[in-house]
Amino acid sequence: MSTECIRIVEIETINKSGNFLIYDKNADRNVVIISSCRLSSFAYYFNCLEGFNYNVYMIYIVPYIEHSTFPDIEILNKIFEKTDMIICENIKNFPGFNTSEECKHNSIFNTFNINKETRIFRIPPLELRCFAYSNFHLFKCNIEDFKTFTDSSKEFLENRLSRYSYHKTKKFIQTYFQTIQLFHTHNHPSNVLMLVLFIEFISKSTAFRITKNFVNKCYNTNFLDRNEAPIFNIDIIINNFKFITKVEHDNNFLTPGILWVDASNNISRNVNKLELNKILIDFFELKY
């Protein structure tokens, strides 16, 4: 069994070779993850979860959508035949591979041999447009509208979490948004936030237990292996950020395509293991 984190760039390479097994537990049954890069964290968390005796497969869906290609149906049918759980984001723009309940006519359930007993869990995508540089250059938001734009995005995310019944994760964001860096880009949440989301999923949907050893193993792993959005003084003002971070010089703000800060060594720089364990115990009433 691999104990090393397999990052999204590696998962993409594995998928391209026609393989979808990410963590081999030598088990008889499978869990399949279908998502963007975000749920690569869930794959690793499952691998580290004590007593979890399932092989972990992941279909990284983004390259297939971008290149209008399709995974091998025969290979995936053999996997799905022995799958007890499918963990997915809400996909509704990829006919034949949609997971949204709004797209039942062209969903994975019509494409593949998925058992009726297989449990389906849809995980809310964590996205928040809270970085001024991204809002200006990517989303073409006027500077005078930054505060309204960010507040609207927060409200959208909170409403999404409520619809999915992830109330603890919603509360965590409301409580720690200023003091722990919870996002590295508008669509790449931090490992701490993904860990909170996973713990809420496990707590409300399964009988598995979260242990201190699990948190210590998982809390500081970089899954996305990407950079993060630059933070400027305007971000500190609008969002009232109090966590430690590099603040870019204001003169760089209007320059498109500046190099973004490497996030690889700073995934959990605002919270250590002891602090996080205490926070999680309080939030989820964990019995370590």
DSSP symbols for 167-187: HHHHHHHHHHTTTS--EEETT
**Hey, which residues does 31 pair with through a beta bridge?**
56, 85
> Is 180 in the same domain as 114?
no
Round the average pLDDT of the chain to a whole number and report it. 89
> Is 244 in the same domain as 270?
yes
> Is 119 in the same domain as 225?
no
pLDDT in tens, 103-133: 877 888 889 999 999 999 999 999 999 999 9
> Is 117 in the same domain as 129?
no
Q: What domain count does the chain have?
A: 2
pLDDT in tens, 134-191: 999 999 999 999 999 999 999 999 999 999 999 999 999 999 999 999 998 999 999 8
Position with higher pLDDT, 11 vs 278: 11
Which structural domain range is residue 138 located in?
A: 125-288
Domain boundary among 59, 89, 123: 123
Q: From residue 268, give the alpha-carbon distance in Å to each of 127, 244, 275.
A: 18, 11, 11
> Is 133 in the same domain as 188?
yes
Place of tokens 């996002």: 183
> Is 117 in the same domain as 209?
no
> Is 270 in the same domain as 167?
yes
> Is 214 in the same domain as 89?
no
> Is 168 in the same domain as 281?
yes
